[in-house]
Amino acid sequence: MQTFIIRRLLIGVLIIFVLSVAVFYLLRIVPGDPAVRRCGLQCTEAQIAAIREEMGLNDSYPQQYWDWLSGVLTGDLGTSQVNDRPVSESIRNRLPVTLELMVLTMIMTIFVGIPFGIISAVWKNSPVDLSVRFTAILGLAVPAFWVATMVLIIPVELWGYAPPIGEYIPFREDPLRNMQQFLPAAAVLALGSAAGVMRLTRSSLLETMRQDYMRTARAKGLKERSVVFGHGLKNSLIPVVTVLGLQVSGLLGGALIIEQIFTLPGLGDYTFRALFAKDFEVVQTMTLYAGVTVVLLNLAVDVSYAWLDPRIRYS
């Protein structure tokens, strides 16, 4: 197990390195000068040249990359080229918003997707199963940004209600308003992911229930509930756990749009604004953050297989 984890971490470091290099060069290939954006259209050439020198944009690309990477390795994430604020400070302020959104989304995904997937498998081809499958397909087909827009517009038109938007309300200050702010956004993000988990749980559990050891358990006289939950569910969760890990990674991208629509000042909103402003330091750091998150999540998913199925061994 230790050898497996070390090997996966080394591969993850290589992946993150390649990702950081690719993003670094792609940002500089895209048209647009951060110095001009920072100074404004009325700046003179001399002012723009001075700003480029201050921002280190006149250095060679390898030198710029090394300056940024060495800072990250020593804990210095750099300074935003747009507002001159430390990137680490902005991340520290915005991280609780994104974490709360991700946690609520995953709670909804797990507690909706898995139970309804089990219900759909146990009552296969029944009206309940057909309803669950139809809802899952609908959840996968409808774009999240459209659902988010409807979630904001319909309550206003019908009941004159809109969730609190425009500023972050910490949970410890006002739990009710915090939930009013985050639950709609989390529900929109969870719609597609819960639908995917629901369909996968159903198909995986149906496949497991056809195995010989399941028939043996029934032949021993065990109740159907014991057969499903005691013998079938745990083994059928392996592909579901894999998808959940991948969906957490995907939610990082979905948060870019959802945080914009619901005006949540999280890391997705931070990255979105930095991309438009060509804020190199912020985009590079946030890409590195996303890469590290994906690598660690995939490692956690792989390690969890051994708990779900003791027959799995790592070498």
At 232, list the tokens. Answer: 């079938």
CB atoms within 10 A of CB 193: 27
CB 242 within 8 A of CB 301: yes
28-47 pLDDT per residue, tens: 777 766 776 667 667 777 77
CB atoms within 10 A of CB 88: 14
Does the pLDDT value for residue 138 go beyond 70? yes
99-118 pLDDT per residue, tens: 888 889 989 988 998 889 88
> What pLDDT, on a 0 to 100 scale, did the predictor assign at position 102?
87
Tell me the longest C-alpha to C-alpha distance in the chain.
86
Q: Where are the domains of the chain?
A: 2-73, 92-308
| Region 260-285 average pLDDT | 81
The alpha carbon of residue 172 and the mean position of all alpha carbons in its chain are separated, in whole angstroms, by 24
Residues 6 or more apart whose Cβ sits within 8 Å of residue 28: 61, 280
Q: Cα dist. 205→47, 53, 153, 239, 259 in Å?
A: 65, 61, 38, 10, 35
CB 117 within 8 A of CB 200: yes
At 256, list the tokens. Answer: 């870019």
| Region 153-165 average pLDDT | 80
167-191 pLDDT per residue, tens: 778 888 888 888 888 888 889 888 8
> What pLDDT, on a 0 to 100 scale, did the predictor assign at position 24?
81
Which H or E element spans position 106? helix 87-122
Which H or E element spans position 238? helix 233-261
* Residue with tokens 């993003």, as numbered in its chain: 23
Confidence of residue 61 (pLDDT cuts 50, 70, 90): confident
**pTM score of the predicted model:** 0.78
Q: Cα dist. 211→202, 205, 231, 238, 313 in Å?
A: 15, 10, 11, 15, 21
CB 155 within 8 A of CB 162: yes
CB 297 within 8 A of CB 102: no
**DSSP secondary structure string, 293-307?**
HHHHHHHHHHHHHHH
Upper half-sphere CA count for residue 267 (Cβ side, 13 Å): 24
What CATH code would you report for 92-308? 1.10.3720.10
